[in-house]
Amino acid sequence: MTAQILGGREIADSIKEEVRDEVARLFERYGFRPGLTVVRVGEDPASAVYVGNKVKTSAELGIISEQIHLDADTTQNDLLETVKKLNDREDVDGILVQLPLPPQIDSATILDALDPEKDVDGFHPVNVGRLNQGVRSLVPCTPAGVIEILKRSDIPIAGKHAVIVGRSNIVGKPMAALLLKENATVTICHSRTVDLPSITMQADILIAAIGKAGFIRGNHIREGATVIDVGINNLTDRDLVEPFFPEEEVGKRLAAIEKRGYTLIGDVNQKEAIEKAGYFTPVPGGVGLLTVAMLMRNTLEAARIRRKI
């Protein structure tokens, strides 16, 4: 068996097109466009790229986008004041504070200070509570993207056994809540789980979100299962390329390491997964491509919630 690859680009493009159409409809009918403000603190190069991509995509979809860039020595109180001003602005529907933040700032304190109705990352405790109650809320982008991949690929969720490896607040826990909402039977595994393969082998849908490169191997995967790889790791060891990747990928991955010092790899051993799974999301090219698309959809949903549309 060779797994069918579930690419994220086509699905992400479809979601963006839907958002663009709905933004235009809202403007035509109600005379406003959703507004997204992204706050970046410091000079982290990766954060600069991520924020630039989010602002650029917003503009392409007709969402009013704004970037606030604060110095690396910004105090926690200064950032809290910035968040308060954004909470009070009527033209701002979504606020995203780009992580990581400098060490003098406590991320949890900042995220808790956001207006829950503007929390487009879906991390505020109020939104977490709403999600777990199954009521309308802003949902973390990556788990929401996984649900979209499954639904738009016509992979049944209701009644299926979904096993999640990883219990983070960003992916594992909200992923479980979303799958329960779709009527799956859900098991969460983690670093203290005893005999992990005996549990993951029961999965119809196996979601890897543990943060360890190539950790999920063939002996974790039931024949024909759907394997969703949420992990993003940098692989720098050339000797691990051949054991982790199928033959047709090896040359490309070695070239990437040669050029930039690393290649991206998920939490799943691709070489072994494609021989056992029925469906498989690659890294890169899978779930990660949906994150920005889901952020755009959350900004649209925030605008609707605030205006009771």
Q: Which residues are catalytic?
A: 54, 98, 121
Count of helices and strands (H, E) across the chain: 12, 11
Yes or no: say if 111 and 79 are a contact pair by the CB < 8 Å rule: no
- 96 with 39: CB under 8 angstroms? yes
Work out the number of other CB atoms within 10 angstroms of the CB of residue 54: 24
Q: Is the link from the previous residue into 284 a cis peptide, with omega within 30 of 0?
A: yes
CB burial string 225-240: b at 16+ within 10 A, e below? bbbbbbbbbebeeeeb
What is the residue type of 269? N
User: 70 pairs with which residues across the strands?
Assistant: 41
Distance, in Å, from the CA atom of 65 to the CA atom of 52, rounded to the nearest integer, reads 10
Given a contact cutoff of 8 angstroms between Cβ atoms, the answer to whether 225 and 276 are in contact is yes
Report the Cα 120 to chain-centroid distance in Å: 12
